[in-house]
Amino acid sequence: MKSLARSGVLFLATVAPWSHAAAPDPSLLGCWRATKIVLHTQDGSRTEDASGRCTLRFGEDAYESVCATSRGTATSSYQYRIDRPGFYLATMSGSTFRTSLVGSTREYEYHVDGNRLVTVTTNPKVAPPAAPGAALRVETQAERTPCQ
């Protein structure tokens, strides 16, 4: 009986934090249009895009990124979970653009202030010999938009 009780406590101790971590943040849900994306590369250069051509659509445990490009539309899908307040882990589950990144996971710091979303992610795997221009840090500012 003690073993069963101990197993039950152990189960709750491991499941309770996971279930708390997996709770969606209602402030993220819905659609967002990127108003500014800043890529910081390893060589110190910085590229900024304020075209508004990228949108995000957040569901409870998945989101999709769609960007208009000169070659058409680039779509990437992700499974995500809130890791702790202000942070989520996103695993790319599909992409029409960066298929080599499918299955990779990144941590994003985020902040929602009304209709404004700011995210920041760093890529700890970018180290010599990284591809020239590989993004070390990506900062995104977005505004809530009606879902199409």
- CA proximity to 28, closest of 86, 94, 95: 86
φ and ψ at residue 20, rounded to 5 degrees: -65, -45
Q: What is the pTM of this model?
A: 0.78
Q: Print pLDDT tens along the chain (148 aa).
A: 443 333 333 333 333 333 445 578 999 999 999 999 999 988 889 999 999 999 999 999 999 999 999 989 999 999 999 999 999 999 999 999 888 889 999 999 999 999 999 999 997 664 444 455 567 899 999 999 999 8
Please provide the size of the chain in residues.
148
Quickly count: other Cβ atoms within 10 Å of residue 12's Cβ.
11
